[in-house]
Amino acid sequence: MQFREQPIDTDREAVASILKASGFFNEEEQEVGVSLVRERLEQGEKSLYFFQFAQEGDRVLGYTCFGPIPGTQFSYDLYWIAVDPAYQRQGIGAQLLMQTEAEIERRGGKRIYIETSSQPLYVPTRSFYTRHDYILEGQLKDYYAPGDDKLLYVKGW
């Protein structure tokens, strides 16, 4: 398995496929995920969207998308982390997260924020974050929909 930072044209299809297959993201969210790859391809680093891709050969196994939070000095958002369901539970997500954290630190970041849903579907996601030393920092009631809170996790160093 190799890691790379720079998106390529075929990553739009790979990201669309991973997000759809995951079962976690609705159609609108899937379109947003692909649009961030497109923005990075069109604008380069000026887009402020950065990526880590895990791949074997030409196949993308998973990816992250992250970027600095405008108006802050050292804070970053982790917008997306997703692994193809066929390759989950092999440590790829953990490796992608570590690569992402290292890149954020290299860029001067000191805190990473991740938001997710309070719905039962996301219990494994929340467990993944806490296993990797992210702390639940905030909860916005009914943010996504009635009974679906936004949970905000943070990790700093």
103 & 129 share domain: no
Residue 39 has what pLDDT?
97
15 & 89 share domain: yes
67 & 98 share domain: yes
pLDDT in tens, 113-134: 999 999 999 999 999 999 999 9
pLDDT in tens, 69-114: 999 999 999 999 999 999 999 999 999 999 999 999 999 999 999 9
Q: Which residue segment(s) compose the domain that 32 sits in?
A: 2-109
Query: How many separate domains does the chain show?
Result: 2
85 & 120 share domain: no
Residue 141 has what pLDDT?
98
DSSP readout, 78-107?
EEEEEE-GGGTTSSHHHHHHHHHHHHHHHT
59 & 40 share domain: yes
82 & 139 share domain: no
22 & 65 share domain: yes
Answer yes or no: are the C-beta atoms of 14 and 51 closer than 8 Å: no
CATH of the domain at 27: 3.40.630.30
Selection from 106, 101, 92 nearest residue 154 by Cα: 101
pLDDT in tens, 24-54: 999 999 999 999 999 999 999 999 999 999 9
79 & 128 share domain: no
* Long-range contacts at 4-11 (CB < 8 A, ≥ 24 apart): 4/52, 4/53, 4/55, 5/50, 5/51, 5/52, 5/53, 5/103, 6/51, 7/37, 7/40, 7/41, 7/51, 7/53, 8/41, 9/41, 10/58, 11/37, 11/51, 11/53, 11/60, 11/63
80 & 133 share domain: no
131 & 60 share domain: no
Q: What are phi and psi of 99, to 5 degrees?
A: -60, -40
15 & 27 share domain: yes
155 & 124 share domain: yes
